[in-house]
Copies of this chain bind each other. A is one copy, B any other.
Amino acid sequence: MALVNEHFLKLPNNYLFADIAKKVNAFKVSHSNADLISLGIGDVTQPLCPAVTEAMHKAVDEMADRDTFRGYGPEQGYPFLREAIVKNDFLPRGIHLDPNEIFINDGAKSDTGNIQELVRWDNSIGVTDPIYPVYIDSNVMIGRAGTVNDGKWSNVIYMPCTAENNFVPQIPDRRVDIIYLCYPNNPTGTVISKEELRKWVNYALKNDTLIFYDAAYEAYIQDPDIPHSIYEIKGARKVAIEFHSYSKTAGFTGLRCGYTVVPKDITAGTIDGRERISLHQLWYRRQCTKFNGTSYVSQRAAEATYTPEGKEQVKKTIQYYMTNARIMHETLTRYGLQVFGGENAPYLWVKTPQGESSWRFFERMLYEAHVVCTPGVGFGPSGEGYVRLTAFGLREDCEKAMERLGKWI
């Protein structure tokens, strides 16, 4: 008799964004004429840039011709893209990677979810709180997170990030096997300094901890002192796996392309303590077995973001979103709200007034101002009392939303 994986049943019934969609739909049914503006889910609105679409048309033409047709690509991704990544995303920051340390994927969500397959099911995990839900949920599914009580999982160490500690998580006072970090942070939009990041790398080196570092939003960093990659810190090659994505960098949410860096120096132990195993080899084996590469057309699209025109065009779109973020930050602050993030990230993290709950503030904003945000508590217990706003909207929507929020507050 086939038995279900019961760890799945421990998951809350719905994914955060599905819950929000349901509430928004309920609103729409009773307010069919309302002109709703969404600053909720983190999806982009600007089209792909010309350099990218030209490369895609060319790739499609290649696929139409017997002489240039491409079938299965390497599971790890095409060398042309892996080489462009090493040269453009890392070398200018003084980071030397081997193209074989890059694994092209179909987006950061897949790999941040799959990476935990490489480690024992009973390793302990630590997360900054609030956090992107996939990190914890993918661990719940394998039984690693334990059981849930009051929104907290028994085998997860939470490191609160709130206004009280200026969103700087405290290094745990005990040994944790695996730490998830995401900078610039989703959802808070805050960043980490080199000094703070160095503390984490040193902690990991000392405690034989693995760091899963999500850098999906690094392209939004404006301040030249903020690190774009954990490999800017000495020693990180031995402890950190890093995730990147073209989704937010170049508007690829519908195209599906990203990459994971697994350095060849990174190892984990066996339970008998006798061996160190290369995680690079394990991940390669995992990808060859369960993944067949991402679309050739998407890989050529990603490559085009590194041409001079591509770089210029991508940068322009990021500036567009960051101008949104600036407008939102200034306006909401003027309205007397406490606003965090939004300076090196496309997310603004707003404290609800008078300690109102996240969901209550979300619902009032929806019903009274017709603006959709994301309740902070959906990202973890320390998100209670905050909401997330995204800067990915169209300028005119963004400005209209600010006007409405002004009248409403």
Contact = CB atoms under 8 A, between A and B. Distances in A.
Interface stretch (A2-10, A92-100, A222-230): A2-10
Given A53-B63, A69-B46, A256-B294, A141 B8 contact: no
B63 A60 contact: no
Contacts of A60: 53, 56-57, 60
Nearest to A66: B47
B4 A295 contact: no
A4 B119 contact: yes
Interface in A200-216: 207-210
Contacts of A71: 43-45, 251, 253-254
Contact of A9 (B5, B121, B277): B277
A18 interface: yes
Interface stretch (A104-112, A147-155, A336-344): A104-112
A114 interface: yes
Given A66-B45, A69-B48, A107-B292, A120 B3 contact: yes
Nearest to A276: B4
A73 interface: yes
Interface in A249-265: 251, 253-256
B110 A254 contact: no
A106 B109 contact: no
B297 A4 contact: no
A107 B251 CA distance: 23
A407 B75 CA distance: 36
A330 interface: no
A288 interface: yes
A392 to B, nearest CB: 8
A291 interface: yes
Given A4-B120, A45-B71, A292 B106 contact: yes
A15 B121 CA distance: 24
Contacts of A295: 106, 254-256, 294-295, 297-298
Contacts of A294: 106, 256, 295
A2 B255 contact: no
Interface stretch (A266-274, A353-361, A366-374, A380-388): A266-274
A174 interface: no
Contacts of A394: 66
Given A5-B118, A208-B1, A64 B53 contact: yes
Contact of A109 (B6, B207, B290): B290
B207 A1 contact: yes
A138 to B, nearest CB: 6
A159 interface: no
Contact of A2 (B43, B178, B253): B178
A278 to B, nearest CB: 9
A310 interface: no
A41 interface: yes
A271 B6 CA distance: 8
A282 interface: yes
Contact of A63 (B70, B107, B254, B279): B254
12 contacts: A2-B178, A4-B270, A15-B285, A15-B289, A18-B288, A44-B71, A45-B71, A66-B394, A73-B254, A106-B295, A109-B290, A134-B289
Given A18-B288, A53-B60, A73-B254, 8 more contacts: A3-B268, A4-B282, A6-B271, A66-B394, A254-B295, A254-B296, A295-B295, A297-B297
